[in-house]
Structure 1
Amino acid sequence: TDFLCSSALVYVMLSCTFRYGRDDMDVLGMAFRRDIFLSSRQVYPPLQDKERSIHTKVQEKILRKLGDNAYPFFFEFPDNLPCSVCLHPGPTDVGKVNIIIINIQSSVRLAIRKIQYALDKGGAAPSAETTCEFIMSDKPLHMRVSLEKETYYHGEEINISVDIGNSSNRNMKDLSVSVEQVTNVVLYSNDKYIKTVAYEETTDTVPSGTSLKKVYTLCPLLDNNRERLGLALDGKLKHEDTNLASSICSQENTTSAFPLKNVMFNSMCYYLLAIYK
């Protein structure tokens, strides 16, 4: 309190920063980082936050304990601000460590994590189908793959319905299904990382003139991929509550003052593959 004289001003800054590579890679004064979002707020003298009618439970406890010496503040994240994602590099990706860090910059530096939740909209279940024609075969092979829903949460099993109609003269064997994580880094580089996070290879066969209908179950988990490199994670590997990075959900037609094009340095999605031999 002695330090905060009547003319002193105390600000807190919230910054969202993208970094590509390590700190020691910065050369000739050029830093491979970009401040995606900056916001500052005056904490002392208090403007409006202390008189705000709604406080969090933690703020209420601190206000009761410290009384007039406590100055709460609030930050609001803009729409489309990216989540905290860290790309765990592979053995050939020397220096290609990129991470999104959100900091509260003051005399105390505090890193916080931003995550997003997707609501289950209950839309049409995704499906895909293909027809393959072979040389020396008059009739094709038709395969259809479908899911129960579009959005899955971490730790939730994915039931994959496979329907194969083999009208060709070839025998199909060794069907495999997998889930692949696809990460595109478009800032400072055009790197693309494709990593299989769940895989099952079967001995199912589809002889000529027969069909197959079966449901396969996959469950992509970080625990099953912890030793693999090149994965994108929600946060850092050392965090106990870290998961595989979520698919990026964005509002393409948003009217927010924070455009989507300003934050698209990473794109994250997952693909389902069904392959036969």
Structure 2
Amino acid sequence: MVVNYKVFKKVSPNGKLTVYLGKRDFVDHISCVEPIDGVILLDSDYLTGRKVFGQVICSFRYGREEDEVMGLKFQKDLYLCSSQIYPQPEKQDLNLTKLQERLLKKLGPNAFPFTFNIPQNAPASVTIQPGVQDQGEPCGIHYFIKTFVGESEIDRSHRRSTISLAIRKVQFAPSKTGRQPCTVVRKDFMLSPGELELEVVLDKQVYHHGEKVAVNICIRNNSNKTVKKIKTMVQQGVDVMLFQNGQYRSTIASIETEEGCPIQPGSTLQKIMYLTPELGTNKDRRGIALDGQLKKQDTNLASSTLLASSDQKDAFGIVVSYTAKVKLYLGALGGEVSAELPFLLMHPKVRYSTVLCRIA
């Protein structure tokens, strides 16, 4: 079986360096991250007496570029790994992938392989959706591979002999799901007998992007209050770990209904409400978290952030979560009753098969 794979290629401005990558999305499996493996093609005459270095950089922009004045910069760059690609160290032992082997065979003796390993606790790629009038680079966490010609790893690179290729670090939905989310909220009222009970159940814990979220609602009104309206919503929580008060929530899908209302004292109502959290209905909303973007590619709402331990939160620059919330309106004097359930919104795990690659 022969399958054509897309190979990503980028050339330096002076045409002397060319980087080849088989993919630009690298999966975080919680316990480990897929290695970044590629090949660089060099101009031998230009590189006489020179060295080539490669780095993986995680860039965290936490403020608007247009607000940077008097040397203030709302961006932090973290160098996750760095190594010398050419001349290759003598003791270097690389386990080449099939793609690297075929690229080396096709490109000739001036091609050299490289492999970078992203640390386990590095944050996932996230982009904060800018406003309509915002300019410059969007806030969020972005990754790119940088290859350059220099004397050392800390040497200042020159633009004409430097290649910066954007990549993404992504997470997929876990194969093992947890318990079905369920919660019960009971509220009693001062100087009133009985209580109002709200039970909310989701049909599963993990949803894929584009799926409908089924919210099962059961209301048992054993109080003397009247439920006049029901509102169900999906909220996206964004926690920017750099700031002490950097948490906020955005409602990305909601339904408000009076069907079955008013729910009189002593009555019961069971209802299923469907919500679809998607980017299409939130494209103009500033501050919505999106999956990391690559040029000329569409994206979607950011996937939920999976952590091996809650202690790792500080290392993840932006933590994204989702909750389904149901709110009952009891009128001006009765107040409100609400219940929340967290769930995961992610992409399904991609299954790869071992095949022979044909390089065009």
Say yes or no: TM over 0.5.
Answer: yes
Tell me if the contact between 1:19 and 1:34 (Cα under 8 Å) persists in the aligned partners: yes
Q: TM-score, normalised by structure 1?
A: 0.86
* Cα distance, 1:118 vs structure 2: 2.4
1:73-222 correspondence runs (5 A): 73-89=114-130, 97-106=138-147, 107-187=162-242, 190-204=245-259, 205=261, 206-222=263-279
Greater CA drift, 214-223 or 181-190: 181-190
> Which amino acid in 1 is paired with 2:118?
F
Structure 1 ranges of 4+ moved more than 6 A: 48-51, 91-96
1:39-93 alpha-carbon deviations (Å, 9 max, x no partner): 1122112248996343153x34422221211112111222121111111245899
Residue equivalent to 2:325: 273
Once the two structures are superposed, residues 226-263 of structure 1 have per-residue CA deviations (whole angstroms, 9 ceiling, x without a partner) of 1222211112497543111111111117xxxxx83552
Does the CA contact (< 8 Å) of 2:121 and 2:316 recur in 1? no
Identity across aligned pairs (percent)? 37
Q: Which residue of 2 aligns with 1:13?
A: 55
What is the CA distance between 1:32 and its match in structure 2? 2.1
The amino acid across from 1:20 in the alignment is Y
The TM-score, its normalising length taken from structure 2, stands at: 0.67
**Cα deviations by residue, 1:131-154 (Å, 9 ceiling, x for unpaired):** 111244311110111112222221
Is residue 20–residue 188 contact of structure 1 (8 Å, CA) maintained in 2? no
Q: Give me the CA root mean square deviation.
A: 2.8
Structure 1 counterpart of 2:302: 245
Residues 19-98 of structure 1 aligned to structure 2 (within 5 Å): 19-47=61-89, 52-57=94-99, 59-89=100-130, 97-98=138-139
Change (3 A) 1:51 1:29: same
Cα distance change on mapping 1:120 and 1:177 into 2, 3 Å:
farther
* Aligned partner letter, 2:81: S
Distance 1:228 1:129 in 2: 32
Separation (CA, whole Å) in 2 of partners of 1:164 and 1:93: 44
Question: 1:37/1:129 Cα in 2 relative to 1: closer, same or farther (>3 Å)?
Answer: farther
- 1:256 aligns with none
User: Does structure 2 retain, via aligned residues, the 8 Å contact 1:20–1:96?
Assistant: no
1:68 corresponds to which letter in structure 2? P
Question: Partners in 2 of 1:48 and 1:157 — Cα distance?
Answer: 55
Q: What amino acid does structure 2 have at the position aligned with 1:155?
A: G
CA distance in 1, matches of 2:134, 2:247: 11
Could you say what secondary structure the match of 1:113 adopts?
strand
Contact 2:236 2:320 survives alignment (8 Å): yes
3-state secondary structure, aligned to 2:128:
strand
Contact map agreement 2:181 2:202 (CA 8 A) in 1: yes
**Conserved? CA contact 2:218–2:268, under 8 Å:** yes
1:56 and 1:180, CA in 2 relative to 1: closer, same or farther beyond 3 A? farther
Deviates most, 127-136 or 153-162:
127-136
Q: Is the 8 A contact 1:50 1:72 kept in 2?
A: no
Give the distance between the partners of 2:233 and 2:77, measured in 1 at CA.
36
Residue 3 of structure 1 and its aligned partner are, at CA, apart by 1.8
* Bigger mean CA deviation after superposition, 132-141 or 173-182: 132-141
SS at match of 1:123: coil
Partner of 2:35: none
Which secondary structure does the structure 1 equivalent of 2:94 belong to? coil
Structure 1 spans left out of the alignment, 5+ residues: 254-258
Secondary structure of the 1:175 match is: strand
Structure-2 change in CA distance of 1:139 and 1:24 (3 Å): closer
Which is richer in strand? 2
Letter in 1 for 2:308: Q
Look up the match of 1:3: 46
